[in-house]
Every structure is written in structure tokens, then in C-alpha cells.
Structure 1
């Protein structure tokens, strides 16, 4: 019986997808804090409910991004222990789930506030609101561009990206309401924009949370067809069958696999192991695969397990 596992990543790349965007996340935190302070100060000085509401939204998002980058940093620095064989990479996923809950809560709050204003729309000073909205929009666009690439690779960066996107739309909404107030004096612009922002954020918060829960439940990545992986392993020379195949995500950008391979009589197990590792790494991008090669007449005790 032969057993082994393979790593297709060099030490320079042996990190989660989130870890490559820590510096950009910190920049997004700093820009968000600047936006929050400006909105809060101007909102209090002008009694603008629009700016105060958006500042609360920005504060929640900055807190979410800060939580995400903290989780990534902890996961990177935590050393593997005998009782913590995969380190703390799952903290990134928990942070992403909490971010989804924050996004969901903020969206509900925005909708509630917007509906309250529809019945009694506040008088919003147009000029200071417009100026602050332009500043906030500029900050958000910078953060958006910094995190856009990472959102495709990391669930944690995606959470931060969605929060920046929500802030950016919030700034656009405040800008529109400010301009409409200056030009037309129409006070219903602010609550209507609030409803639009809330409805935009809700489904994205749901998708982020669903993705995080899928990882925590150790579901197979959507990009990998398990039936296709099993068929490819069965088609390897010398393999009688494969069973006990598992593929799951440790954290974004770190997919893991394990399988048992039953070999035909007089087959070199070392050659089968090497071929299977190469197949999984090159065709399915599963660089970390733990494989057990069993002879045809082996005990096969894993078959007796009910789970």
C-alpha cells in the first residue's frame, strides 16, 4: 500500500488568495475611515440625515473590512500545531460570513430608514451633501479598483469588495439626491435612492453568506466536477477503481482533495501515485491532494464505513 500527497505550489505562492491582498485591504480601511470622518462631521454640522445614514453605512463596512484583514493576518501568522493541522485559515471564511451578516443588517436598516423618510422626507442641504458625496465617491472608486482583482480569487476580499461597492453606490445615491435637491428642491430623492441601495445590497449579501456556509460545510468547489475527477482517476493506467474521493475548500484559493486508488495486480503503486498527483494538479488545479494507493486484494476497510 502506498500513500502520499502533493504540493504544486512553490513556497513563494504557498499562501491563501486573501493573503495576497492584505496591503490593499489596509488601504481600503484607511480610505473608508477618511470618508466616515468627513461624512460624520459634515452630517452633524448640517443636520443632514442622508450623510449621517451613509456615514453609519460606511462605518459598518470599514469595520467589516477591518475584520476581514485581521482574520487574514491571523491566519497567515498562526503556526500549525498538532491539534490545529490546517492552521487558522478558516478564520477568513468565518470573517466573510460575518461580513455577509453585516451587509444584510445594513441593507435592512437602509430600507427601514428610507421608508421612514418617505412618509416625512427631511430637508437636506444640497451643496454640502454634494461636495461630500464627490469626496466619498473618489475614495470608494480607489478602493474599488484596488480590490476588484482580488474579489475573483478570495471570498474574504470579495466581502470587502462588496462593501466598497455598496459604499460607492451609496455615494452615487447621495450625490444624485444632493444634485436633485439643489436643482429641483425635491426631498423624496434621498429615500428613493436609499431603497435602491438596500435592494442592491441584499442579494449580494445573501450570495456571499451562502458561499461562506458552503465552504464551512466542506462542499466541493463549484468549479470542480466531482464525477469528472472520479472518472479521470479511474482512467489512469493501472487503476482498477477510485473511491472515498473528497474535494473541499480550506479557504479561498486553497482547494484540498483526498482519494483511495485501487490498483491492478503487478502495478507499480509509486507510478500510479505520481500520475494521479500530476492529473489532479494540472487538470483540476488541486495541488494539495492526499492519495492512498491500495492493492486489489487489500482489506478496503473504508468501504465498511457508513459515512
Structure 2
């Protein structure tokens, strides 16, 4: 009799346990395909590439998204961002997202494109400050 009760409890608890593990492991929620979300974003005119795309659930009804999106330089960033957000919300029901828009580097010496420039400038400033 006690094994039957244990079986009933386990059967009822399993879906809750499974859902909890998916949330704790920050796995992509069931029914959402990361590649499909990326393809939807890349289909927006002006988007060149999507990378560092992460989708996870904080709780079963609260899905989060973060991504980096490379856009064409001629685009209006705010308009493009609003279009991307609208499509993600409409197509996938994701309302909480952080999207970082990026452009390709036109000047390889720009700090934005090569962070070594920033550390070199910092090192030069420290060296100059320590010489008497």
C-alpha cells in the first residue's frame, strides 16, 4: 500500500520537479527553438548577424532573452530594435529581453574594434604619470 502512495506522489511531483530543474539549469524553455528565434531576428531588414543568443526561463511564465545583433550601418538603431522586440514578443511570447546592437568596425584602430588600444592607452597614461 505504501508503495502505491509513493507512486502516486512521484507521478504528481514529476512534472513540477522537471519544470524546476529546467528553470534552475537555465535551459531553453520547451517549445522555443533558439535557431528559429535567431532566424526570425536575422529576417529583419538591416540585421546582418545574431550571436550570443541566450533564452531561458526565470520561472515557467517569465522567459528572458539576451543577444548581440550586428546591424547595417545605414539603419536607424531605435527603429530596428523596436522591430526586433515586436517580432520576438509576437512570435515567441518573450517580453523580457536585452538586445545589444553592434555595427561592424570601419576603422580597425578604433577602440570599439580593438580593445588592446584601450589597454595600451591606459598603460601609456600610467607610465607618463609615474615618470618625474
Partners of 2:114 and 2:89 lie apart in 1 by 26
Higher-strand-fraction structure: 2
Matches within 5 A, 1:124-203: 194-203=2-11
Task: Please say if 1:208 is aligned against 2:32.
Answer: no
Instruction: Return the structure number with greater relative CO, CA threshold 8 A, min gap 6.
Output: 1
Partners of 2:48 and 2:97 lie apart in 1 by 19
8 Å Cα contact 1:280-1:289 kept in structure 2: no
Given the alignment, which residue of 231, 241, 252 partners 2:39? 231
Flag the structure with larger Rg: 1
Given the two structures, how large is their TM-score scaled by the length of structure 2? Answer: 0.73
8 Å Cα contact 1:263-1:293 kept in structure 2: yes
Shift in Å, 1:245? 0.6
Partners of 1:262 and 1:204 lie apart in 2 by 45
Per the alignment, residue 299 of structure 1 pairs with 113
Task: Please say if 1:264 is aligned against 2:88.
Answer: no
Task: Please say if 1:220 is aligned against 2:34.
Answer: no
CA RMSD of aligned residues (A): 2.0
Per the alignment, residue 108 of structure 2 pairs with none
SS of residue matched to 2:101: strand
Shift in Å, 1:216? 0.8
Task: Please say if 1:255 is aligned against 2:69.
Answer: no
Per the alignment, residue 136 of structure 1 pairs with none
Partners of 2:24 and 2:3 lie apart in 1 by 32
Higher-helix-fraction structure: 1
Given the two structures, how large is their TM-score scaled by the length of structure 1? Answer: 0.33
Per the alignment, residue 94 of structure 2 pairs with 286
Instruction: Tell me the matched-pair count.
Output: 109
